[in-house]
Structure 1
């Protein structure tokens, strides 16, 4: 063996010895035998090098107050039916059940996450046992078909949940309705529905997860988490803000005590979402070693994108700068405000002062996950561990039971009647269809998917379905031509979500990244890929944080666009991209993270498609005239109020974030490189 071969062998030996891999990740490549934490048949399809599974872990049915009072009547069974490709009926703008909705392709997995605080109280209002329950004003308002009455009821419910300035307080209906027993009954219904739709056979066609949403918000500053259980072993009832008194630490402690420590075979994680609307409160420095331990244990993932915006990073085109970033692609699907009042637009007017645009200088940096990750690598030197080591997923947060309905074309809205039909363009123009949670798992089972989430081998998409791999370690320059790229990726390093000790590397970190375009469907083929970027964040010797975006594959200036008359794709890109990239500025003494961002060719935003369907072309010189005509028609034919289609003619040149053309994307979970403490 020559000196070069010996050096390479030594390097690989050191790398294998010190890379932070989960025990399962190692064993999965050595054996195809799986031990399950539940009774089920072994999946007939098993891949040691894993396959991508697409899902949604943020879904609401009529069991949620804000879904029910928006005239949405589909329950858990319809949620799973839709996720599996069946059509369901959702409310139109008038509240009548008239709109047929169907996903473009079935999901592989889904988790229903109705609001845990209100399961019993909503059930008491929907199906009261007493006369007082039937005539209780709040319940009557929740059952009303009048939009304004429904919105007043929504405000009432959020106040009860402690999302305003008061502490969480159960509804007075619980004085004469047994809300506690209804809470348990509905929670059992959630579990039973998940069981009915979980494929325990060897076919492993669909996986359901038991879960709920923990719904804390301080003065409408979002702190929500989706709580996902590994299997059918769950807590007796959802642990909600009523039990924690709005303490995230208490949530983690009670989940740990009641599930992980208190119930054999129980495992659980909590997924934060919409840090963009948290007013800077979502990710604060841990105040104790216990808080640090529990955050790392309970929250391995973060939901990076959903219908209330993207939380990767923020760049204001009008200001020409961002929130601790100069990355111009950070203008993607940004919400003007920084709290849940962003939902306050009704009949074309923002009804809350708190829903207004927050300028760059007053927008909290830690609303954006990239900044949180940068602070995490800086805090590692101080705390001994990184408190913010998150993998990425996307989801929808649908309140219309449309699990995974993230496609731009045919988007029916995610808020029941409140954003159905013309109301979507009129009142929820800044929202979007959401994204997907993608996991790399050996098979489509609860155990395999949950373990992928635990080890952060996940990525988020903005609604399309590209296939993306990302590995870090030591890779030959010709790795992209290898027939066994996946095996090479695992053998020579770690996948997305992994951690490398810098002492294991003899030289600069090298990354293997490749992506395949979304194949789409027969009627709607996917868009070509434009490029792959690698985003690096790090902390220097003084603890100051930095970031840099590297173009590593493809062509950002390929000239692709859309036809302004039809929205058809113009130009070509790539069906596949692959590269081995070495950090030119690598410093083994710095703590750093890297993640890949895959960018598709331009396509029309959902709002552009809906405007065009109404006869209003955002690209046309006659847009305003078309808007007036379409709005008049909506008022006459559909009972609309105001200038319904005015938003269609907003000019991207005058907007901080909006554009009628977007570039769909995927974000891999980061790979961290850690220096010695």
Structure 2
């Protein structure tokens, strides 16, 4: 029977081949024989299919402070590490990421660019100045002396008292400055591999008036041909300014001269003592007016919500009804602890409050200056973009893994200190880009289709529309309905359909090698018709059989952390969470925004790994357990008319 079937099939197959050989239809004719939607669900797909993981904020030994603390790694080391290679840290320790990144922006400080390598080498240009010689001698001595020397250098920078001789030698117009910028650009060009890894040219503009953090990172969409037509701006007088408007002017000049594209990302509003998100009157650099809101909206489409120096989503003082707002808050003072924090300052420091205040400014000026997407970064000054708790190489070389690193305060002044155990192993940015290229990733930043995590690679989709339903979740590709029926994170809700409330589709997947998920929440902020601003956190979907109480609050997920082994069990939580949610409090007359917060089950912080690996005792006040999280970029609603 088998022989008969084979014999019968041969002429048929041959006939088919023969027919195809005689007539080969054109692509146009072939496409015309299929329906509008092809059978293959992946054919003709144009939306982003997977998140690309990356870093927007990293320093090498070329940065003034990183080099002074002993970082001897250069751009090439940082790029190789981000791409997954094992390298040696500045302290000689072998280190490697658990998984390579897909892209990175390298952001060495621009002020005194080129100085740090010359300091380490004891170049004559450095030793010619008494302060330069003092800093060099401290660096060479190492240990505590090197730390004190580096802090003195940073203090002089923050106070604007750097020696004139050094400023003249390492500012725009000086050869070491230009040579260093060329080195940075060429390294990024060398490591950029379109389709595999995107290496962005960038820098950090380090404005810190009065010690108040107003830093911005800049990312260029372009390659060397454009980037080398200009050198980055600085903040030290007389070569630059700490006024953000001057950075905006540089960005405008860059685009006009080169035909390129650039954006800026601010970060660490928690160390700005209220200056990061001004809302009225004057602020450092001018007045909150039409020009301010338009310039900031144009040049800053993204904000770094979480990093080593604290998490910036929310604060218990501003959000007393949010039991998860007290997460890695740094609320002691400004960047160098020369001025302590007051409650009144917090309003201008945290993302959720800024998003709310942006609604009010939009109603007043017609433009929302705080309409930004969200991402995470490390701000590591080790050249190593490590954001996992068990692989945390910390802020600077002086506090790379060692039995004593927890004893070193991050900053110490006459007014107080921020202890070393408060450093945060955070974070990364996920980008929904159509391909792994500079252009596609940059464009995703511009449309705000990004999200932040504190380190875990949680998968997160968030769409807003007017007609999502549970049927849209009954597929392994909910993004198909998401893009067809709504807008993704970072977008504006389309024109209202009918008289209903907006619907949102939320999908989260745990990190494949990480912890299970506790819950997904929608955070809503809105402006009432009387101009007052409000917020509310909704528990939308959660793991297990828990039941929300009368106020909509869901009980804690539990805790499986074993502090003796720095481990946890995924016997609680869920590997994925999905939901379609309708705003139960929607008012079509009120401006609003919505974003998603995803919480993992409890896991150990990095200090617990240090305790076990080094056999050390931890301070009683050290936090040992936390719930890592992801934050989507918001979706905005604006009343019609």
Shared fold by TM > 0.5?
yes
Mapped contact 1:459–1:666 kept (Cα < 8 A): yes
Mapped contact 1:70–1:418 kept (Cα < 8 A): no
1:196 to 173, 184, 190: 190
Q: What are the within-5 Å matches in structure 2 for residues 550-561 of structure 1?
A: 550-555=538-543, 556-561=555-560
Q: What are the within-5 Å matches in structure 2 for residues 592-607 of structure 1?
A: 592-607=592-607
1:508 to 492, 501, 514: 501
Greater relative contact order structure (CA < 8 Å, 6+ sep): 1
Stretch of structure 1 that moved more, 303-312 or 496-505:
496-505
Greater CA radius of gyration, 1 or 2?
A: 2
What do the CA deviations read for 1:375-402 (whole angstroms, capped 9, x no partner)?
Answer: 1112211111212101100000010010
2:258 to 255, 259, 263: 263
Mapped contact 1:501–1:674 kept (Cα < 8 A): no
Alpha-carbon distance, 1:326 to partner = 2.1
1:588 alignment partner in structure 2:
588
Alpha-carbon distance, 1:450 to partner = 0.2
2:305 alignment partner in structure 1:
304
Alpha-carbon distance, 1:297 to partner = 1.2
CA distance in 2, matches of 1:430, 1:67: 19
CA distance in 1, matches of 2:374, 2:125: 48
Q: What are the within-5 Å matches in structure 2 for residues 648-663 of structure 1?
A: 649-650=620-621, 659-663=623-627
Change (3 A) 1:500 1:581: same
1:8 alignment partner in structure 2:
none
Change (3 A) 1:565 1:192: same
2:80 alignment partner in structure 1:
81
TM normalised by structure 1 equals 0.78
Stretch of structure 1 that moved more, 212-221 or 569-578:
569-578
**Residue 489 (structure 1) aligned with residue 482 (structure 2):** yes
Aligned length: 562
CA distance in 2, matches of 1:505, 1:298: 35
Change (3 A) 1:177 1:205: closer
Mapped contact 1:560–1:573 kept (Cα < 8 A): no
Change (3 A) 1:248 1:576: same
Q: What are the within-5 Å matches in structure 2 for residues 226-305 of structure 1?
A: 226-232=217-223, 233-234=226-227, 236-242=230-236, 243-257=239-253, 259-264=254-259, 266-285=260-279, 287-305=288-306
2:352 to 361, 364, 370: 370
Stretch of structure 1 that moved more, 362-371 or 661-670:
362-371
What do the CA deviations read for 1:151-205 (whole angstroms, capped 9, x no partner)?
Answer: 44334433554x22x4x756423567897111111000000000111114xxx22
1:180 alignment partner in structure 2:
174
Change (3 A) 1:441 1:148: same
1:429 to 385, 403, 421: 421
**Residue 415 (structure 1) aligned with residue 415 (structure 2):** no
TM normalised by structure 2 equals 0.83
CA distance in 1, matches of 2:112, 2:170: 13
CA RMSD of aligned residues (A): 2.5
Change (3 A) 1:463 1:244: same
- Secondary structure at the aligned position of 2:470 is classed as coil
Stretch of structure 1 that moved more, 555-564 or 476-485:
555-564
CA distance in 1, matches of 2:84, 2:498: 46
Q: For structure 2, list consecutive stretches of 5 or more residues without a partner in the other structure.
A: 1-35, 38-43, 280-286, 409-419, 544-554
2:436 to 435, 439, 444: 444
Alpha-carbon distance, 1:487 to partner = 1.6
What do the CA deviations read for 1:576-616 (whole angstroms, capped 9, x no partner)?
Answer: 11100000000110000000001111100111221232335
Mapped contact 1:425–1:611 kept (Cα < 8 A): no
Alpha-carbon distance, 1:507 to partner = 1.3
